[in-house]
Every structure is written in structure tokens, then in C-alpha cells.
Structure 1
Amino acid sequence: MARAWMGMLAVLLFAVSFYKGSCVPVQAKEEWGYVDVRDGAHMFWWLYYANSSSASYKDLPLVMWLQGGPGGSSCGFGNFEEIGPLDRDLKPRETSWLRAASVLFVDNPVGTGYSYTDTEDALTKDVAMVASDMMVLLKSFFSLKTEFQSIPFYIFSESYGGKMAAAISLELTKAVQAGSIKCNFAGVALGDSWISPIDSVMTWGPYLYSTSLLDDNGLDEVTTAAKAVLEAVKQGQYQKATDLWSITENVVEQNTNGVNFYNILTQDSDEMVKTSSDQTNGFLSSLKRRHIRPLHRQSLSELMNGPIRQKLGVIPKNVTWGGQAEAVFESMAGDFMKPVVDIVDQLLAAGVNVTVYNGQLDLIVDTMGQEFWVKQLKWDGLQYFNKMKWTALEDPQTQSQTGAFYKTYKNFAFYWILKAGHMVHNILFCTNFNVCKTLFNIVIFR
């Protein structure tokens, strides 16, 4: 493990080239396209080949990145705001993962980002449908890009993307075993993931109280609202639970002077706050303000619907990047609060490498809630995992400063990332970015 940390910053440094005559600087080798995953459902993917001076892409892993929401664009936010070769201003990103891996961004579920459906009836309703669609895409991708069939393939995810990643990983494991998809699936990383929603909601109050962001009265109000969500979940009323979840967020905001759900120590930027231009009300308005706009800010939308759209040249004229984002969430609302802890259990039982990592300053998926669902696992290694003490990891650029803690047993690992928010890989939400930007290497080489 210590060797994996040594030189990680150097591994992530890279240089990108520029196409002459183009207003969009790009990575030297990249490909993109659409896959029709169902009638009327079209999914967009964007592949960047690893760009390393010391190794061929064939000697480096392939990573698929899945964004949250549901409705957040991997090809937009994950690419230009977190780990892709260029940032939102089209400047080279020194912390891109491309020096260490090839990266496949997928706008998932259909209707997200550049992915689109012909009618709203074709939008996905649950993670089972999401996983089914992704199997079609991955089968097409690995059949088209046969050079990647033997390369270790990892799925990395963030937020609701982790819930989808768990379901996708299980179906992929079955497909590989059945021989219907040819790939070398090596593991899944669940970052600040919506695995057990109710465990997150039920710990919002205690977490905020422990960080002095709620007083006694506020704690009582948040707890009361959260218990209403819990009761709906217990009764299997998941659509109602989603509505009550949104109400609980309102209660949290009212009692904390508008805490940032993605990083409790970071104020919302001007692009993220609600403005008079919002035309929707109630549930969808709150959704857009808190969980869609941070992933589809105005400047990013202008980039994706302007120069990037022009560069790609395959986006249908009637498709606006992010245009169906709210419809995607609304279509998935009945599935939103359902847990997938049992799926993680099945992955562990099947021998799949599973890594959980979480930012200390995240509220929406707070670490306390993550720890609760992990303790619910039926995995036969859990009792040994629980008895272990965690190990400290130093910040690779600041000696004698702890950047994270971790525990790992057999095919399961948990990383507590200090000073990081919900979007561990985005510098806006990660105060301790020196640690956050090395997480890829930790998971791949652990």
C-alpha cells in the first residue's frame, strides 16, 4: 500500500495536445458514439485512451465513470469538472486520470447529458432497467473495441452513480460468466454512493448536530422529518419517501441557514443558487436547485451545447445536452429511495472487488450513513472487517498530515477521505484535494 502512494502525483501529471484549426483542444486519441440500447433509447459514450509517456494504453486499465443524479452527465460534469483531460475552460487538467488509465464516460441513464429518448415513456424506471441498458452498451462497446477485452476494467462512480454501478456490476459479472460480454472486469468503486438512502437521511441530523450546524430545536425538526421518510420506506411507499426526502432537505436548509449538501464547509457558488429564472415549483424546483444545477451549471451547459457539440458532430439537432435531466430524475423517483445493500452483498459473495470511499464533509451521503449500511452486510468477512483498526494515510504533499484512513479485508475496502465533500474528485468540493486526486491509484493498486 505504501508503494502505491509513492509517486502518485507524478503518475497523474500529463500533457494534452491541440488539434490545429480547432477551437477545442483535445486528447490525442479519443472516440465517441451512440448505442441504441432499446427502441427509442439512445445512449452516448465517450472514450479517452490513456496518455502515458511510460506505458501503452494496453498496459493500463480501463475505467468507466458514472455520474449521479440520476440525470447528471458523466460526459459533461465528470469529464470537464472532475477527471477528464480538459477542464471547463478547455485548459489541460494536471490531475486527469488519463496518465494512469483509459477512461470511458457514459451518459447514463438514457435521457442524461447527450443520451436521449424519443419519448419520455422510454426513460428508465429503476436500476434494474438501467443495468439492462448498460449491458447492451457494454456488449456493443467491447465488441467494437476488442483491444479492451483483456484489459482490466473498473467501474468508478459517484453519488446515485454508485447505486447504478452496483446493479451494473452484478449484471456484468453474470454476463461475463455467461460469455455474453467479453471483458476483464476487475472491480467497482462506490464513491459517496446512494446505496442505502434511508441510512443517509436518518444520520443527517446527528451529523449536522455534531458539527455545530444544528441546535437542539433544529435537531428535533430534522429528526422528525427524517422519521417520516423512514416510515414511508418501511411501508414500501418509495415514491412518497422520495417526496418526503425532499421535504426533509427543506427542513435541513431552514435550520442551517442553507448548508451546502455537497460540502458543509463550502458556500454555494452564484451558479448554484436558486434564481428568479426558475419556472418550476415544489419538488422539481428543489431537485433542480440542489442536485441538477451543480452538475449542469450555466457555463458547463454553454460549453456542452456549443463548442463540444460542434466538435462531436453526432448529436441530433433536436437533442440539448442535459435537456431531459429533470425528466430522468422524475422517472426514477419511485426507485430513488430503495436500497441496494443486498446487491453489494451479492457482489462480495461473487468475489468482485468492492471499494467504498466517502468524503468527510459530505452531507447528502454522509459517512455515518455509509458506515451504517456497511454494518448491515451479510458478507461472511464483515465480522473480521469490523474488528480491524483503520490505517492512516498521509497527505502525499504535506508530511505528517493525515489525509485519509482505510480498512481492507479480502475483496472489500473502505476509505475515509478527510476534508473532502460529496464530489471527491472535484476541487470545489474537496479541501484536501492532494489526497482526493490520488484515490484512483489507491483503488487500482490496493
Structure 2
Amino acid sequence: MFWWLYQADHPTRNYTELPLVMWLQGGPGASGCGYGNFEEIGPYDINLKPRNTSWVETVNVLFVDNPVGTGFSYTTDRGAFAKDVDTVAADMLVLLRQFFDSKSEFQKTPFYIFSESYGGKMAAAIALALHKEIKAGDIKCTFGGVALGDSWISPIDSVLSWGPYLYSISLLDEEGLKEVQASANEVQEALAKGQYEKATELWSQTEEVIETNTDGVNFYNILTKDSTMNKRQRSRNGFLSSLYQRHLLPLQSNDLSELMNGPIRKKLKIIPDSVTWGGQSADVFENMAGDFMKPVIDIVDKLLVADVNVTVYNGQLDLIVDTVGQENWVKKLKWTKMEQFRSLKWKSLRVHPDAAETAAFYKSYENFSFFWILKAGHMVPSDQGEASLKMLHMITNLEVP
């Protein structure tokens, strides 16, 4: 498993005095060391120009290409690809145990897991497994909490909310709404029968129904059009190929691939000749097919009961994991303090005290928080860098400028 650590580049404080944040990308099969690093929160963008809203200015950032086979991570054993989040978590604990043993200066540093999309589903499982390992004394780490960004925690809650959401913003008419809802109901029926791979196939079909009725709305930002729609082709792998092309290939653009397999690979000097960045991502994606539609709400509940800090954040313009769907699964949490959380009114958030526009809304009760990030799609830090930084500071208890 390949990982990439940036020590915090703070103007006045030593990096050991600042939190450590691990970033997990989605997919599954998308590279945090590539996309998260150069497209979202790292110190340089894809053109190697400095990023004004880099998280590295205030925290240490650990990118991990996860699961095995993602990015520069690789395996020579076909049986080593993860097929569920439990395996993903077990593999990650091997890495984290070695990381904190070899980087002992981080053992007492507050450690947070931040995630995006499918990375959030994996982050929840990893967080719970890590909490248990710390309690057992097997990993020396000061765990600060987990942040689930636009996360695929309960896929069916997203799928069932797509139709009403798109209809409410005039991207579906009544006939289109009926078609989308009928397709979504088939996904729900398959899930109720425990037919997880069938549910994954029906999920893909529901997305196609939406694309047809909306003239190609972008699942990652409803205000834009999906420029890849006409380029996608079905292959012998059918729906998995369609899902892969829609949700993973855009995170491995030609420009990013050329950067990672060119200058970055040359600079690293440790990547085996047989390994290319992203070369096994399709294998990662296909091996997780039976896990795609399984919910992990119960894991989030266990984290809350264990008093682990949990934050949910979501972009207003996201469709694939729309905020309505996120709110719906949050309502299903059995955490005993959920009623107190829900009874709170949200607060507005501005990136600067004198800023005219509201950047987000949020509310928090004890160890659970929710952030609604305005004018952001699925990739929140890319769309709203300053708001993301503000949220980062609040979650990690840093002074907010």
C-alpha cells in the first residue's frame, strides 16, 4: 500500500504540534495520493502550482492509496483485492500500525480521518476498527475522530431521493420522476432480498434513466452537464464497466495520469517497473461489486456510542450522494442523543467574519456534527476550498482565522 505524508507547513508552529489528517478517496479505486493530493487539498495543483487553500498549511496530511490496488498500491495476488469494507479496514490497520510505530512523533498527535464518497464508507469501518485496536493497546494513536464527506454510507437513501430531488429543482418532469422512482424502487426490492450485486446493476440502470431524462446531468454537480456521457461504452462487463466509466475514470484524467506516471513516478524512485498508477483500479472496483449497495449506518451508530467524534459534511450541489439522502440515513441512527441533535437549529458559517455570503450551515451536539456546504458539489474541497478549510479547523479544534 502506497502512502504519501506531508508535514504541516505552518508559519509559526512545529509540525509535531499540529493534527494529523488521513485523506481517503472514493471509487473504490480512486487515488488519494493522486486526485485528493493534486486536485483537492495538497500543496500543489495538477500543474504543480501552489494551492491557496491547501490543508498542509495547517495540518499534517497523510494520503493513502486504498484499497490495495488503488493508485500506486498494487498486488501480484489476484486474491488479495478487498471484497468488502471489513477487509479494507483490516488492510488499513496493517499500514497504520506500522506507520505509528515508525513515525512515533505522531503517536500523541490528534489523528483524524477525512474522506470523500466511497472513502467515507471505508473510513467509517476503518475508524471503528482503529478505535478497537487503540483500546486493546495494539496501535499507539490519539484518535480525534472521523469526517464523512459526501459519503456512500447508505446508498439506497441516496438512490430513493434522486427523483424527488431532481424534480424539486426542475431537472425532471412528472413523467421522468415516475420513471426514476420506479427504477429506484427496483433497487430497494433487490436489497430487501439480499441481492446485492443485482442491486448494484439496478443502481447503474437508475443512473442511466436519470441521464436520459435530464439530458446528461452531472452526478457530481447538478449545475453542470456530464461531458463523458456520450463517450461511455458498455463492454463485456456490462453495468460494472458503465459504473466504472461514470464514477472512477473521471478521477483518473489523462492529465493526472500523465503527472503521476511521469514526473511523480520519476521523482519517487520506488515504484516497481511492473506497476502503473491506476493500473489496477478497475480490479479494485469490480472486486467490491458485492459491497457497493450495502449500508454501514450501524457502524456510524457504533462509533457514536463509543464516543468517537463523527462529522458528516455534504455539498449542496451533489447528486450521487445528495444531501437529502444523507439527512435521511442520519435520521435512521439509533444513537440515543439523536433527538437532541435534530432539535437544534443550524448556524450559519462564513469563511471570514466580515464575509457577506454564507458559506455553509452546521450544527453539532456532543460527538456528532453535520455541515451543509453551499455551492459545492461532490468534491467539496475543490469547489469550496475556503469553506473546507474553515470546517477542517473547526473539526480539528484549531484556531479559526
Scaled by the length of structure 1, the TM-score of the pair is: 0.87
- Percent identity between matched residues is 64
What number of residue pairs does the alignment pair up?
Answer: 398
Distance 1:280 1:92 in 2: 42
Moved more, 386-395 or 60-69: 386-395
1:130 correspondence with 2:88: yes
Give the secondary structure class of the aligned counterpart of 1:386: helix
1:185 corresponds in structure 2 to 143
Distance 1:401 1:161 in 2: 30
Amino acid at match of 1:438: K
Distance 1:216 1:406 in 2: 33
Distance 2:39 2:172 in 1: 31
How far is the alpha carbon of 1:278 from its aligned partner? 8.3
Q: 1:303 to 1:182 in 2, by over 3 A?
A: same
1:162 correspondence with 2:120: yes
Which of 286, 308, 316 does residue 360 from structure 1 map onto? 316
Distance 1:417 1:276 in 2: 30
How far is the alpha carbon of 1:273 from its aligned partner? 5.1
1:26 corresponds in structure 2 to none
1:439 correspondence with 2:397: no
How far is the alpha carbon of 1:286 from its aligned partner? 1.6
Amino acid at match of 2:305: A
Q: Cα RMSD over matched residues?
A: 1.6
1:212 corresponds in structure 2 to 170
1:330 corresponds in structure 2 to 286
Alignment of structure 1 residues 45-444 onto 2, 5 Å? 45-268=3-226, 272=228, 274-275=230-231, 282-396=238-352, 399-426=355-382, 430=383, 432-444=384-396
1:15 corresponds in structure 2 to none
How far is the alpha carbon of 1:284 from its aligned partner? 3.3
Amino acid at match of 2:254: Q
Moved more, 126-135 or 277-286: 277-286
Unaligned ranges ≥5, structure 1: 1-42
Q: Are the aligned partners of 2:53 and 2:386 in contact in 1 as well (CA < 8 Å)?
A: no
Q: 1:208 to 1:276 in 2, by over 3 A?
A: closer
Moved more, 332-341 or 276-285: 276-285
Distance 1:69 1:370 in 2: 18
How far is the alpha carbon of 1:287 from its aligned partner? 1.8
Q: 1:97 to 1:123 in 2, by over 3 A?
A: same
Amino acid at match of 2:336: D
Amino acid at match of 1:138: L
How far is the alpha carbon of 1:134 from its aligned partner? 0.5
Give the secondary structure class of the aligned counterpart of 2:52: coil
Amino acid at match of 2:390: T
Distance 1:398 1:284 in 2: 48
Give the secondary structure class of the aligned counterpart of 1:333: coil
Give the secondary structure class of the aligned counterpart of 1:306: helix
Which of 44, 48, 64 does residue 2 from structure 2 map onto? 44
How far is the alpha carbon of 1:434 from its aligned partner? 3.6
Amino acid at match of 2:240: L
Amino acid at match of 1:297: S
How far is the alpha carbon of 1:406 from its aligned partner? 0.7
Amino acid at match of 2:269: G
Q: Are the aligned partners of 1:305 and 1:320 in contact in 2 as well (CA < 8 Å)?
A: yes
How far is the alpha carbon of 1:423 from its aligned partner? 0.5
Q: Are the aligned partners of 1:75 and 1:105 in contact in 2 as well (CA < 8 Å)?
A: yes
Unaligned ranges ≥5, structure 2: none
Q: Are the aligned partners of 1:71 and 1:292 in contact in 2 as well (CA < 8 Å)?
A: yes
How far is the alpha carbon of 1:280 from its aligned partner? 6.2
Q: 1:437 to 1:403 in 2, by over 3 A?
A: same
Give the secondary structure class of the aligned counterpart of 1:185: strand
Amino acid at match of 2:13: A
Deviations 1:18-68 (CA, angstroms, capped at 9, x unpaired): xxxxxxxxxxxxxxxxxxxxxxxxx11111111111100011000000000
Distance 2:355 2:258 in 1: 41
1:24 corresponds in structure 2 to none
Q: 1:205 to 1:257 in 2, by over 3 A?
A: same
How far is the alpha carbon of 1:274 from its aligned partner? 4.9
